[in-house]
Amino acid sequence: MQLAPVAALAPSRVASVSYLAPTSAAAVHQRDASPDGGGDLDKYYATAQGKQGADLLRALHLIVRTGHVDRGYAQARDELFGTVEDTDGDNQIEDLFTGLTRGPITDRKNGYDKGLNTEHTWPQSKGATGIAQSDLHHLHPGDTVTNEKRGSHPYGDVSKMTWSVGEGPNQAKLGIDALGETVFEPHASAKGDIARGLLYFYTRYSQSRPSDFTLENFNHELPTLLKWNAADPVDDKERARNDAVQRVQGNRNPYIDHPEYVDLVDFAHMPAGH
Ligand SMILES: [Ca+2]
Ligand SMILES: [Ca+2]
């Protein structure tokens, strides 16, 4: 697969073009310049064309598995803070939970020194282990204290708040949802990003499960994720991030490139335990 990275990564390097074969670098450049994706993305998703439901999910699973390289957890986090979360290159990094930025941050160490660590939106305790532990599509920098509050609770809409951080559009909350479950609710413009990351994670791993993989959180989150996906649509920053993740680990999040796939897969009607 020509989109797969071919060169070994140096930790914390910004020169991401060197991770790609020359033909792929050209293709990524072309995609950046073309909001509709162009022919390269069409090729990437060719085997998904015309499919829906479980057939589409299976096709997407095979697409995102192909060329996916495990760079290891340390290197993944270096890339997260060094390149993936800073696609505009201003060394300012956003806290996932509140959307507030911190900097200057150029690598994982700076980030940790400024009170950020690595949030697994699919918790490690629910199966984000092995290659999934270092899968950048579901990792984000998050405030260390807030990250502890989130723990491994599901994401969701809080009805009765018990803890919060940030003000107005930057507020993040812990509390009880309408079903009585303890959930964590981030600021509004993180909701779609988290939803698409978790839908990717399900697509990537539910058919080739890491050890300890469980749908415990996902089954509770799913109705909210579908709502959040619609309420917070894909923007240019999320598209640039998807390109950056591909440069590191060789695969893409289909729900960023093709938001309509979320409805076509019809997650809400997947067979139980699929
Ligand atoms: Ca930045
Ligand atoms: Ca967003």
Check if the beta carbon of residue 138 is closer than 8 Å to that of residue 200: yes
- Per the domain annotation, does 14 fall within a domain? no
Tell me what pLDDT residue 218 has. Answer: 96
Q: How far is the CA of 195 from the centre of ligand 2 (A)?
A: 10
- Per the domain annotation, does 74 fall within a domain? yes
Identify which ligand lies nearest to the alpha carbon of 91.
1
Identify which ligand lies nearest to the alpha carbon of 192.
2
The residues with which 119 forms a beta bridge, in sequence order, are 140
Check if the beta carbon of residue 260 is closer than 8 Å to that of residue 226: no
Tell me what pLDDT residue 262 has. Answer: 97
Q: How far is the CA of 189 from the centre of ligand 2 (A)?
A: 4
- Per the domain annotation, does 6 fall within a domain? no
Identify which ligand lies nearest to the alpha carbon of 244.
1
Q: How far is the CA of 226 from the centre of ligand 1 (A)?
A: 27
Tell me what pLDDT residue 271 has. Answer: 58
Q: How far is the CA of 266 from the centre of ligand 1 (A)?
A: 34
Tell me what pLDDT residue 128 has. Answer: 96
State the average pLDDT over residues 171-179: 98
- Asked whether the predicted pLDDT for residue 123 surpasses 70, the reply is yes
- Per the domain annotation, does 31 fall within a domain? no
Say which amino acid occupies 175: G
- Per the domain annotation, does 158 fall within a domain? yes
Q: How far is the CA of 232 from the centre of ligand 2 (A)?
A: 5
Tell me what pLDDT residue 90 has. Answer: 97
Identify which ligand lies nearest to the alpha carbon of 111.
1
Residues near 179 by Cβ (< 8 Å), separated by ≥ 6? 220
Structure tokens that stand for 268 in this block: 């809400």
Of 232 and 268, which is predicted with more confidence? 232
pLDDT band at 209 (very low <50, low <70, confident <90, very high): confident
Of 19 and 199, which is predicted with more confidence? 199
- Asked whether the predicted pLDDT for residue 105 surpasses 80, the reply is yes
Of 207 and 102, which is predicted with more confidence? 102
Tell me what pLDDT residue 160 has. Answer: 98
- Asked whether the predicted pLDDT for residue 274 surpasses 50, the reply is no
Residues near 129 by Cβ (< 8 Å), separated by ≥ 6? 210, 211, 212, 213
Q: Which protein residues have a CB closer than 5 Å to ligand 1 (ion)?
A: 86, 88, 90, 92
Closest Cα partner for 155 from 115, 130, 188?
188
- Per the domain annotation, does 22 fall within a domain? no
Q: How far is the CA of 25 from the centre of ligand 1 (A)?
A: 22
Q: How far is the CA of 8 from the centre of ligand 2 (A)?
A: 31
Percent of the chain with pLDDT over 90: 81
Q: How far is the CA of 257 from the centre of ligand 2 (A)?
A: 14
- Structural domain boundaries, residue 93: 51-269
pLDDT band at 208 (very low <50, low <70, confident <90, very high): confident
Residue with tokens 């809409």: 157
Tell me what pLDDT residue 59 has. Answer: 97
Q: How many domains does the chain have?
A: 1
- Per the domain annotation, does 91 fall within a domain? yes
Of 256 and 1, which is predicted with more confidence? 256
Q: What is the pLDDT of residues 28-83, one digit of tens each?
A: 333 443 344 457 999 999 999 999 999 999 999 999 999 999 999 999 999 999 99
- Asked whether the predicted pLDDT for residue 252 surpasses 50, the reply is yes
Tell me what pLDDT residue 38 has. Answer: 58
Identify which ligand lies nearest to the alpha carbon of 85.
1
- Per the domain annotation, does 153 fall within a domain? yes
Identify which ligand lies nearest to the alpha carbon of 259.
2
d(CA 46, CA 17): 24
Q: How far is the CA of 104 from the centre of ligand 1 (A)?
A: 9
Q: What is the pLDDT of residues 81-91, one digit of tens each?
A: 999 999 999 99
Of 21 and 97, which is predicted with more confidence? 97
Instruction: Specify the range with the lowest mean pLDDT, choosing from 22-26, 80-84, 266-270.
Output: 22-26
Identify which ligand lies nearest to the alpha carbon of 233.
2
What are the DSSP E strand ranges found in 9-108?
Answer: 93-94, 101-102
